[in-house]
Amino acid sequence: MEFLEGHHHEVLVVLVPPGSSGPTGTVKITRASEHSPRLENEARALQTLAGLDIANGRIPTPWFSGDHAGRAIVGEAFVDGAPFRTRARWDPGCPHLADAVGWLTDLAVATRRDVPATAVREALLDLLARYAGIHGPAAAEVDQLRAIFDRVGDIEEPFPSVFQHGDPGIWNLLVDRGDRTVFLDWEAAEADGLPLWDLFYFFRSYAVGAARKAGTRDPVEGAARHMVDGSPLADRLIEAAAAYRAAVGLPAAAVEPLALGCWVHRSLKEAMRSTPERLGSGTSVRFLRHMLERRTAPTLARLYGGEA
């Protein structure tokens, strides 16, 4: 048995039975009761997904969950794999990029259910109100986002909600011995999440990694290089988003509101870990504003237009 630090709010215990050639499981324990809801959410997510065929080998197998002295405990089978960032090729033809994008699409298809477009519009407007209260954006920025989010209510086609990982950055991914992507850390999972958000968030983390490999250190500049400006990786994003839309049945008119709503949502999460004086320097709020300024950039025009 080995104790590791894990996240700042939990301790990770790696189980290595006597005579075993390696670890067989992990146990996560929250450091304090206030952190328990997130770990309890992971336990629910893994239990829900464990019954789906697509989950086989793609998520940690849940063993047990409970609490001790008010602290959540979750046991999971050990995942034998290498960090995604050590296996990625950082180009649009990377097989691990394709595998991760493909599985996120499969997850959306397997868990989709129709919800009223008006409910999605209200959810986006609620996020916008919270964003305005925390980040204090200019009135013109709020008006622009409100007009974009309002358009969702005009969509007449069925609007899918999907099971959402919530934090599928490359740091939460492993590549197993069969070259399959495994998605870890489901603490931010949403059973009724919004489509494309996992795809966009994963792709941004991959784009930042690719840009850093090429020498660009600023994450917003790196993400914009491959998600706003034209590049072969931008072409891959457009292709992946179009395939996702077609598979899950998402109207093209929803792409821009969802793309911008994704970064509004992420900026609120970042604000929880920030100080008041640093709110405006968060990666997501800066990326959101860059996307608003460059709405007519070629990559975004193709993405929002539903180009394949």
Architecture of domain 83-304: Alpha-Beta Complex (3.90)
On the question of pLDDT at 129 being above 50, the answer is yes
What is the structure's pLDDT at 68? 87
Rounded Cα distance, 18 and 133, in Å? 55
What is the structure's pLDDT at 100? 98
Whole-model pTM?
Answer: 0.94
On the question of pLDDT at 3 being above 50, the answer is no
Q: Which of 162, 179, 181 is nearest to 59 (CA)?
A: 181
Alpha helices (runs of H) in 112-254, residue ranges in sequence order = 117-135, 139-150, 197-213, 219-227, 232-248
What is the structure's pLDDT at 7? 56
Tell me the pLDDT band of 275, cut-offs 50, 70 and 90. confident
Fold observed for domain 2-79: Phosphorylase Kinase; domain 1 (3.30.200)
- Cα–Cα separations (whole angstroms), residue 279 to 125, 135, 270, 276, 294: 20, 7, 8, 5, 22
Residues 174-190, mean pLDDT to the nearest whole number: 97
Rounded Cα distance, 188 and 259, in Å? 19
Q: Which of 254, 244, 250 is nearest to 105 (CA)?
A: 244
Cα torsion 153, 141, 162, 266 to 10°: value is -160
Indicate where the chain has its CATH 3.90.1200 domain(s): 83-304
On the question of pLDDT at 285 being above 60, the answer is yes
Indicate where the chain has its CATH 3.30.200.20 domain(s): 2-79
On the question of pLDDT at 180 being above 80, the answer is yes
